[in-house]
Amino acid sequence: MQLNRLINWLNRLFIRSLLGIFKALGFIWKHGFLHIYNTLRKFSVFCLYYLFLPFYRSYYFLKRRISNFYTFLRVRLFHFLVRRHFIHGIIIVIAMVVVLNNLQAQDIRDENFGDQTVVLALFPSEEFGEPDQLPMDIGSMPDLSGLGTMTMGNTAITKPQIMQTESTILSSGKLTKYVVKSGETISSISKKFNVSVDTILWQNKLKPTSTIKPGAVLEILPETGVTHQVKWGETLGGISGKYKVDASKILVSNGLIDPAALRAGQTLIIPGGKLSSYYSTKKYTAAAPVGSVSKLFTAGKVTGTGNMLWPSPSRIITQYFTWRHHGLDIGLPKGQPIYAADDGTVIKSQCGWNGGYGCHIIIDHGNGIKTLYGHASRIDVAVGDGVSRGQTIGLVGSTGKSTGTHIHFEVRVNNKMVNPLGYIK
C-alpha cells in the first residue's frame, strides 16, 4: 500500500517536472528567441527591400547600358576602321607626311657639297683629294654635255631629269605607227584612219583572239587593204591576180609608173586586198574596250590570266560577301558597262528570272574558276563566245530579284562560292 503511494507520488512529481520544464521553455521562446527572430526578420526585410534590391536594380541598369554602349561603340568603331574612306585617309596622311619631309630639304654643308654628283660617281674620291684641289684639265674629262649644266663656285655636274614624250601618231612614209590610248577600240581606230578592222588586224598580224593594251603601237595603212613583199620572179600581174585587185590600183597606191620597176624585197600596198590566212571578223563588235582586239568568236576554250579586274567602272560596294549573300553588289547607274573580269569562255548567257539573277552571264576562266554577272539590262555575248579581260559583255540593270541598279558579281572556285575581294584588283 505504501509502495503504491510512493509510485504515484513519483509519477506526479515527474509529470509536474516535465510540465514545468515545458512552461519554462515556452516562456523563454516567447520572450527570448521569438523576439530575436522577429527582430532579425524585420532587419532582413529592411535590408532586402531598401538596400539590396535598389543596389541590384542600379547595378543591372548600369550593366545593361554599358553593355549596349560598348556593343554600339565596338560595331561603329569596327565599321569605321574598315571603311575604305578611312583607310584612304590614312594613306593620304602618310603620303602628305612623306612629301612634307621631302620638301624640307636638309642644308648641304660646304665641305660636303658635290658628294652626290655624277663626277664623284665617275671618278673615285681619292683621285681628287679635297674639293679645292680638283684637276682643271677639262680635256681629260669624259663628255658630260648631255648630263646637265655646270654651276659656278662649288663645281657640280648634276644628272638631268629627261622627260620622255610619246607621240600618238608617228608617220613613216605611207605607213603610220599609232600608239593606242586608254579607252580606244580597234573599231574606233579604224574609223579614225578610215580603214577596215581587218586591215589593222592583218597588218599587225593579230587575230580576233589577240589582246592589246594602252601604249601598244599599231601599224596603220593609208587605205583599206594589205601589204605584200615582192619576191624574186614575181610580176605585177601575178600579184594583182593573187589578191584579185586591178594592177592599175596597185600602181597608183604605191606611186609607181612602170610595172617592170618592181624589185625583190619591195613592200607594196594592195588596196582592197584580203588575206585568207587570218580569221574573218564578221563577229567583231566595237563594244570591246582596249584590252581586246574584238569580241572573240567560238574558237575553243579560253583560259584566264589569273589576274581579275573589277567588273565595272564603279567600286561602290552596296552589299558585301557573307554566308547568306554569296557575292558583291556593286552599285552604279543603269546602262553602265559590265566588264569581263578575266579572259574566258561564256558558258551561260540568258535572261529571265533565273533564281533571282535576272539577265546574267557566267564565264569559265579555266582551272575551276568561274565568274557570274547578274541583274544586267542587256547581254552582249552568247554561249561559246571567248571574251578578253576588260571586254564589255553587257550593261548594268535591275532585272531579277533586285532592289536597285547594280551588278551582282560572284567568283566560284571548283563550284564553291568565294569572296570576290580576294581575287579582283
- Each residue's pLDDT tens digit, 52-73: 888 888 888 888 888 877 777 7
Q: What's the CA gap between 167 and 154, in Å, rounded? A: 39
Q: Say what percent of the chain tops pLDDT 90.
A: 19
Lowest average pLDDT, out of 149-158, 188-197, 401-410, goes to: 149-158
Q: What's the CA gap between 20 and 233, in Å, rounded? A: 155
Q: Does residue 327 surpass a pLDDT of 70?
A: yes
Quick one: average pLDDT of 301-318? 84
Per the CB < 8 A criterion, the answer to whether 242 and 250 are in contact is no
DSSP H or E segment with residue 54: helix 53-82
Q: Does residue 12 surpass a pLDDT of 70?
A: yes
Q: What's the CA gap between 21 and 104, in Å, rounded? A: 105
Q: Does residue 48 surpass a pLDDT of 70?
A: yes
The pTM of this model reads 0.34
Closest CA to 386 of 276, 283, 312, 280: 283
Question: What is the model's pLDDT at position 341?
Answer: 93
How many CB atoms are closer than 10 A to CB 97?
Answer: 10
Lowest average pLDDT, out of 203-212, 241-250, 344-353, goes to: 203-212
* DSSP state letters, 77-100: HHHHHHSHHHHHHHHHHHHHHHHH
Question: What is the model's pLDDT at position 45?
Answer: 85
Q: Does residue 38 surpass a pLDDT of 70?
A: yes
Question: What is the model's pLDDT at position 301?
Answer: 62
| Greater pLDDT, 243 or 23 | 243
Question: What is the model's pLDDT at position 378?
Answer: 93
Question: What is the model's pLDDT at position 161?
Answer: 40
Q: Which residues contact 36 (CB under 8 A, 6 or more apart)?
A: none
Q: Does residue 364 surpass a pLDDT of 90?
A: yes
Per the CB < 8 A criterion, the answer to whether 156 and 117 are in contact is yes
Quick one: average pLDDT of 69-88? 73
Highest mean pLDDT among 58-67, 139-148, 170-179, 270-279: 58-67
Question: What is the model's pLDDT at position 273?
Answer: 86
| Greater pLDDT, 57 or 174 | 57
Q: What's the CA gap between 286 and 281, in Å, rounded? A: 11
Beta strands in 206-280 (DSSP E): 217-220, 225-229, 267-271
Q: What's the CA gap between 170 and 190, in Å, rounded? A: 16
Question: What is the model's pLDDT at position 210?
Answer: 59
Question: What is the model's pLDDT at position 207?
Answer: 65
